[in-house]
Chains A and B, each alone.
Chain A
Amino acid sequence: MRRAHLAATAALSITAALTATNAQAADLTLCWAAWDPANALVELSKEFEAQSGHTMKFEFVPWPNFADRMLNELNSGGKLCDLMIGDSQWIGGSAENGHYVKLNDFFDANGIKMSDFIDATVTGYSEWPKNTPNYWALPAFGDVVGWTYRKDWFEKPELQAAFKEKYGRDLGVPKTFAELKDIAEFFQGREVDGKTVYGASIYTERGSEGITMGAMDVLYSFGFKYENPDKPYDMEGFVNGPGAVAGLEYYKALYDCCTPPGSSNGYMSEGIDAFKSGQVALQMNFAFTWPGFESDASVGGGKTGYFVNPAGPDGEQFAQLGGQGISVVSYSEKQEAALEYIKWFAQPAVQAKWWEMGGFSCLKAVTLAPEFPQSQPYAQTFLDSMAIVKDFWAEPSYATLLQASQRRFHDYVVAGNGTAKEALDGLVADWTETFEDDGKL
């Protein structure tokens, strides 16, 4: 009897030990887009591996295919990803379709407070329904559309003089979109350092989300609103109101007057190339691109300046939110280990290191630290931009809504079909149909 008891105890101990070993040595796969911040995260995660004993694997997909590939994975209940840094617009669909694990209890149990993160990133990356305390992700990478400019060109005395003569004011960072267009026009086709340069690189990409991110970045400040604040999904007069129409007309005018030839299908990488190669004076792009400019031989070392998305005609100023939260995939068999990773990632020391390595931390302890604005040339612009963000629909049908705006905007801005009013009226019709299909109207 005693021997049997001993054997049973030994068996239990071995089982427990094995189970413990399994729990300690999980192979976690983190899925994200293939871009510079992802490489920084690989480096950062080595610390987690050393501390936890888990091994980290990474599945990175280039941005143009990221949504297609990863949403297929989630929709099919795939087990490839234990952790997903999914785009902000995916939150609604992923929450409603059960792709992500709800994190409220985990946050409560581990003392992770959402009030410690930049408010806009919590709303944008974590909450569904929006503005309710239901969390499906931890803000992981704060991003926003802003502008870079060739500071070294702006400082050239001959260009300053020519600009002043033409516009009667100093060549400097534009405060309004009207000023931005003047600067872009000034540089368009001008010879700088013996080379023909152009005004601005803006988003025009048709296939995924490019032109929508670019046009929205402008439209918000001109008065565009997704819906009536008092009546959900009532879009008439908000999506296609006079301000929105003026904003879209402005975006087309900027495209027509001031972009380099052949800029009809450009997004993030085309913008980076245009700016680094010295083709444009101004560049619209997400903040994630900024660390790369600082370390670049041709535009780094003080040659690049950064500024917040300018104000519209009525002084309203908003910027398009980018960035992502990190979620635990509900189909993962290693949820415990995945949650461990999130707990580790949420620590202030790790977040501080994340910022140092080029990752845009969303933790207030990092971004509101007194030394933060001086930590990088773009740090203050990042902070100011994050204070004025707005995001695209995060509805479960966001992809359908996005495809409609992509087509309507590209048709008007690049292809030159119809008027801005017609494009936005068409967009209201498309979006209404989508919400009707969803049973929300």
Chain B
Amino acid sequence: MTDDNTSRGTATAPARLRRRIAGLSDRTLAFVFIVPTILLLLAINIFPLIWTIRLSLTNYRANRANEAIEWVGLRNYERILTDPDIWNSMQATAHFLIWTLVLQVLIGFSLAYLINKKFRGNDLWTTIIVLPMMLSPAVVGNFWTFLYQPQIGLFNYVVAFVSGVDPASFSMIGDVRLAPWSIVIVDTWMWTPFVMLICLAGLRSIPDYIYEAAEVDRASRWRQFWTITIPMVLPFLMLAVLFRGIENFKMFDLVVQLTGGGPGSVTELTSINLKREAFEKWRTGYSSAYAIILFVTVFGLASIYVKALNKVKER
């Protein structure tokens, strides 16, 4: 008896649900599906953002929860924007960002161009080139600190072999002039394959008939490259620059492991600087203002860039 009831119950439930859903308008149905997502977004994105803005106007410190919170208005913003150390950190970030993007685009595109040619072992080379990107940044940072060691590091020996200088005479991560380049080299080593893959997708999306038509018109290889390849790959390249730019603006683990922000503060990128303010010095209000400034910067730059990207795609 009980079994019958149960089975009847389970059989009728979907039917009832179907009837109820069938009675709903498309608009209501869409609303039902979208509301949980909106609520989730509000809870995990919008609310923390608003809360951070609120905190940025106070002197709150998370490690002193018992202390009264004082409203300081825009003082935190003023202090950040007039602090030369923060501008140094912005400069270090800009240096890192610009050089990694330039090198990764140039090398990534060149590799993609070469890999795109049909030759034996093409797939094997692609796999080998892509390997660094699969490693954890913390592991890569640690690994390269050994490579950069003046006394035992392979990097110094290679440079010494090529240039003839004493390998112990220079320290990539200990010298204030070389340290910024040491992180650029590692990031380029690790992430150029990513740019290469995107460029490769772009190159492979160009139909062969366009080149065949160009051949018929007796266009030179160079002309084909500049008038067909580059314009067709450009949207892909710009997308790769967008991804890498946002990622490198937030770069943290690799640099912490490699240089710890030193020597001095020469490789202290904004993300490292922000972490120190927020979770070592516990200046929560101040670091909230700092985070908002960084957010606005990235958001602003990314918006301008996306507009440019859309224009290129429309062409």
Contact = CB atoms under 8 A, between A and B. Distances in A.
Contacts of A93: 63
A97 B66 contact: yes
Query: Most A CB atoms within 10 A — which of B168, B176, B263?
Result: B263
A335 to B, nearest CB: 20
Given A263-B174, A414-B262, 17 more contacts: A68-B280, A75-B282, A261-B168, A262-B149, A262-B150, A262-B151, A262-B173, A265-B173, A265-B174, A265-B259, A400-B280, A400-B281, A400-B282, A400-B283, A403-B281, A411-B264, A437-B59
Contacts of A269: none
Interface string B171-203: 101111000000000000000000000000000
A407 interface: yes
Contacts of A417: 176, 264
A206 interface: yes
Given A207-B260, A261-B171, A407-B265, A75 B281 contact: no
B58 to A, nearest CB: 13
A432 interface: no
Nearest to B282: A399
Nearest to A401: B281
A416 B179 CA distance: 13
A54 to B, nearest CB: 30
Contacts of B66: 97-98
Secondary structure of the B side of the interface?
Answer: loop
A72 B278 CA distance: 12
B169 interface: yes
B171 A403 contact: no
A407 B62 contact: no
Given A262-B149, A264-B174, A396 B168 contact: no
Interface in B246-271: 256, 259-266
B31 interface: no
B313 interface: no
Interface in A251-268: 260-265
B276 A415 contact: no
Contacts of B63: 71, 75, 93, 97
A253 B65 CA distance: 44
B263 A410 contact: yes
B279 interface: yes
A259 to B, nearest CB: 10
Interface string B63-87: 1111000000000000000000100
Nearest to B283: A400
B262 A415 contact: yes
Contacts of B151: 260-262
Interface string B43-67: 0000000000000000100111110
Nearest to B151: A261
A348 B139 CA distance: 46
A414 B280 CA distance: 22
Contacts of A396: 64
A117 B66 CA distance: 33
A206 B263 contact: yes
A206 B281 contact: no
Contacts of A399: 280-282
Interface string A404-441: 00010011101111000000000000000000010000
Given A75-B62, A403-B281, A262 B261 contact: no
Interface in B137-151: 148-151
Contacts of A97: 63-64, 66
Query: Most A CB atoms within 10 A — which of B175, B264, B282?
Result: B264
Query: Most B CB atoms within 10 A — which of A68, A206, A396, A417?
Result: A206
Interface string B262-305: 11111000000000100111110000000000000000000000
Contacts of A403: 276, 280-281
B213 to A, nearest CB: 58
B280 A206 contact: no
23 contacts: A68-B280, A72-B279, A97-B63, A97-B66, A205-B260, A207-B261, A261-B171, A262-B149, A262-B174, A264-B263, A265-B174, A397-B281, A399-B280, A400-B281, A400-B282, A400-B283, A411-B265, A414-B262, A414-B263, A415-B176, A416-B176, A417-B264, A437-B283
Contacts of A407: 85, 264-265
Contact of A206 (B59, B175, B261): B261
Given A93-B63, A97-B66, A207-B256, A265 B262 contact: yes
A62 B243 CA distance: 34
Nearest to B268: A407
Interface in A86-127: 93, 97-98
Nearest to A434: B281
Contacts of B148: 262
Contacts of A415: 176, 262-266
A207 B141 CA distance: 15
Contacts of A397: 281
A263 B171 CA distance: 9
Contacts of A206: 260-264
Contacts of B62: 75
Nearest to A409: B264
B153 to A, nearest CB: 8
Nearest to A433: B79
Nearest to A72: B279
Contacts of B279: 68, 72
The 10 A-B pairs with the shortest beta carbon distances in the complex, nearest first, are: A415-B264, A264-B174, A411-B264, A206-B262, A261-B150, A207-B260, A400-B281, A262-B150, A415-B263, A414-B263
A416 B282 CA distance: 29
A260 B64 CA distance: 42
Contacts of B85: 407
A414 B267 CA distance: 13
Interface string A192-213: 0000000000000111000000
A407 B66 CA distance: 30
B59 A264 contact: no
A261 B166 CA distance: 11
Interface in A45-100: 68, 71-72, 75, 93, 97-98
Nearest to B272: A207
B258 to A, nearest CB: 10
